[in-house]
Amino acid sequence: MGNINNLYKGIEVKLFVIFPARNESKTIGQCIETAKKSKYEPEVLVVDGFSSDTTKKEATNAGAIVIDQSEGVYPGKGRALKDGIKEAMRRGADYILFLDADIVNLTPGWVNQLAEPVIEKEYDMSRGYYRRAEYDGAVTKLVAKPLAWVFFPEIAHFEQPLSGEICATTKLFKSLLDSKDWPDGWGIDIWLLVEAAMRDYQIVEVYLGTKIHTSRQEYLADVVRLTKMAEQVSLTTFKEAIKYKRVDNVKRVQL
């Protein structure tokens, strides 16, 4: 039944773990079963992005709540996150934690480590970071971090500005839901970080060790597959720079 009876300092807390997923039938079942073993006894929700494989069946069999992404957009990660947040809020979530659905080495400890700062130490958001392989994280290293240094030095110290492993209070997510510039695609990760930072929420990064995920093998075979992600991350950052009047920061960059 999830963590309906899970108490912290005598107060009932309800954590939702959400997996945005599209064609992740090989990993989603194990990911769900692992997340459920967290000490916070979370409810698990899968937002399916119109998978053509058996992702929905595997997720249901593993005991997750499964909903369909509200619109058939691709890339649609941002849309999936918004749909997941709305559904979790409808079900009474106090805290919401996102995990990628293609993680091979996920442990219950990841859920615990991400949730602890938000539930027990009163941070508003926690974000996972990892030990990356030499050729992993190309968009992070070549796009997200350099642009953060220029436009948003407040977040430049974060190791993984595009982390898919995030936990935050429902209050934080609720404050962002009505934003007209909420990205539907790959820009959502950097957008959430910038918006949380600019609104003075307390954010902490949590070291999760090594992350092994299936999508990395696809990108290693052909880095051009990351083109759309790089485009959306860079354009989202530029739009945020315009919004927060940071465009003139480029004048300070020595070329």
- Domain with 188 in it: what CATH number? 3.90.550.10
Provide the whole-model pTM: 0.92
- Which of helix, strand or coil describes residue 219? helix
The answer to the question of residue 254 being in a domain is no
Tell me what pLDDT residue 225 has.
79
255 occurs within a structural domain? no
The tally of domains found in the chain comes to 1
In a domain, 173, yes or no: yes
pLDDT on residue 74: 82
pLDDT at 30: 97
Task: Let me know if residue 151 belongs to a domain.
Answer: yes
Mean pLDDT by 10 residues, the chain (255 residues): 52 92 96 97 97 97 97 90 98 97 95 98 95 77 95 96 96 96 97 98 96 69 80 98 97 88
Within-domain flag for 106: yes
pLDDT of the residue at 73:
83
Hey, what long-range contacts does 83-90 have (CB within 8 A, 24 or more apart)?
A: 83/47, 84/16, 84/18, 84/20, 84/45, 84/47, 85/18, 85/170, 85/173, 85/174, 85/177, 86/177, 87/45, 87/47, 88/16, 88/18, 88/43, 88/45, 88/170, 89/170, 89/173, 89/174
The dihedrals phi and psi of 43, each to the nearest 5 degrees, come to -75, 150
SS (H, E, C) 108-175: HHHHHHHHHHHHCCCCCEEEEEEECCCCCCHHHHHHHHHHHHHHCHHHCCCCCCCCCCEEEEHHHHHH
DSSP classification of residue 213: B
Tell me if 99 is assigned to some domain: yes
pLDDT score, position 219? 59
Domain hosting 122: range is: 7-246
Flag whether 2 is in a domain.
no
Q: Has residue 1 been placed in a domain?
A: no
| pLDDT (0 to 100) of residue 6 | 66
- The Cα 97–Cα 132 span in angstroms is 22
